[in-house]
Amino acid sequence: MTMKYIFVDLDETLVHCSFLGNTEKAKKFVRKGSEVINLSLGDETPEYYQCTLRNGAIDLLSKLRDLPNAEVYMLTAATKDYALANSETFNLRFTGDRVFSREDTNLLASRVADRFKPEGDFDMFLLDNLPYSDNDTKIDWLTSLARAIGDSSKRFSRSHYIQIPDYYGVKNSRAFTDAYITDIVEQIKNS
């Protein structure tokens, strides 16, 4: 059976975050239904973000993780600290080895290839809000990763790119409905 590696974008796909500033006062402007994420690392000035989870995001991730022979990862242009803070805040269940951030995509994909152990054929899927034509960095990185883990001729297939409508933090707007989740899962299962 073909192994399926599923990569899901973070910002505007699963969550929407806005930078609030770096003072405690910034937190008083948080919208109801949003969470504040504080990214203070060591002695650095804290950064506060107002973040909102897209309705149905947890259900989508659960259904993707339930697919046979599938592994789900986060692939984001954000920093790893920011991605992990969102994962923890919203219980997205991505651990550090399941998050590929800008720090990773700026490296050669071969440096992370040991995290993947396909036995036989594999496919890669990307769920992202950006149009395919605007996502060269991730697509090129996934192609390099595919080549590093086992198939020197493999390219990331456009048919495995699932563009998700942008999410800008409005509750119940562009939610992952049961029907939409089923469509996504079926597209991956049938590829």
- Scan for tokens 């991605």, then name that residue: 83
SS (H, E, C) 118-185: CCCCEEEEEEECCCHHHCHHHHHHHHHHHHHCCCCCCCCCHHHEEECCCCCCCCCCCCCCHHHHHHHH
Alpha carbon of residue 131 to chain centroid: 15
Is the model's pLDDT at 73 over the cut of 70?
yes
pTM of the model: 0.92
Nearest to residue 13, comparing CAs of 177, 141, 188, 164? 164
7 forms beta bridges with 73, 126
Q: Which domains, ranges and CATH numbers included, belong to the chain?
A: 3-15+53-189 (3.40.50.1000)
Angle between helices 57-66 and 178-189 (to 10 degrees): 30
pLDDT of residue 118: 76
pLDDT band at 113 (very low <50, low <70, confident <90, very high): confident
Site of tokens 């409005």: 170
Q: Residue 41: pLDDT above 70?
A: no
Q: Cβ(60)–Cβ(48) under 8 Å?
A: no
pLDDT per position as a tens digit, 143-191: 888 888 876 677 788 889 999 999 998 877 889 999 999 999 999 999 8
- Kindly provide the b/e burial profile for residues 148-163, where b requires at least 16 CB atoms within 10 angstroms of the residue's own CB: bbbeeebebbeebbbe
Q: Which band of pLDDT confidence, cut at 50, 70 and 90, is reported for residue 42?
A: low
